[in-house]
Each structure stands twice: as structure tokens, then as C-alpha cells.
Structure 1
């Protein structure tokens, strides 16, 4: 199945307006989430992993005690694609 193409900087900027918890540009999206404790952060990673597997698109996740640093980029597209935006939306639904 072909992967979606890289989005233009303008398309990413427009999409980010609807994703206020995320920052970034056409090269990648980022979000930091602070959870109540370490186990909550690990549980969030497991929930994100389930969604990532559904989409066959996987984020970079950095866990620091109870803080998650999330990065989304479509390496095959060389930047942000529609898959990254969909994963960001799904993560926001899991971690409002």
C-alpha cells in the first residue's frame, strides 16, 4: 500500500491550527504530555502503541518519569504526511 506524500508547509500550518496541543512544521510534529505518575505514562504509551499499530504508523516516544515527549514524522515521505495528522488526532483523543 503506497504511503501518503509529504504535506506542504502551508497544509501543515493549517492542520496545526486544529491541533493546539501539537507544535512543529512540515519536518515533524511534537507534543509533550505530563501524566500523574510513571505507570500512567507507561499505560499511555501502550494505548498509543495500539493506535499506532492500527495505522501502521509509529511515533517516536521519549519517556522521562511521568512525561512523554512525542514526535511524529513520516520518514518515507521525508516529513509530515496525513498519517501523522491522523495519529496526532488519535493521540489527542486518548490523552485530552
Structure 2
């Protein structure tokens, strides 16, 4: 079975980059070496791998990557620190339209 990875890189400008790959070592090396000049990380090197999660199915990995890309910086940092309770609190909607507030 093939393994897929969703990963987060911390860039030199303190921003985060989220991606998906089937070979984490190769993909990280591509970011480090600046293989693609149009890649977000090219001008933000050096980069540091700060998070990754394994998936058995590419569709699950892509769905999680899309979800993470929409997360706030605080949510990403909670995942990086493996603070899952904090992530749950940050994910709770607190506006007036939330179902708990109706």
C-alpha cells in the first residue's frame, strides 16, 4: 500500500506552507533545494518541516490538505504542537449563526 503525506513547512519569513506528497523525503528536499522557482517556498528558504500526517488513500490526504490550508495560523500551530484540545477550541464557531447559538 502506498502512503501519502500532508505536511507543513515553516518558512524563513515565519509563514507556513502546506502540501501533499507520496514521498516526504523527496518533496522536502525539493523545497530545501529550490527545485521549482515558482513554488511559494522558493523565496522563503530555508524551510523547516514542522508537521506531517500519513494517509493510506490519496483522496483522504487531499481532503485534509485542503482543510489545513483554510486553517488559521493558530490552528496550524496547535496541530504542529499536537495540542488537539486547543485545536478543538479554536475550531469552535463563536458567531451568532452557529447552531449552538440558535
TM-score (norm 1): 0.24
Q: Which has the higher contact order (CA 8 A, sep 6+)?
A: 1
Instruction: Report the structure number with the largest CA radius of gyration.
Output: 2
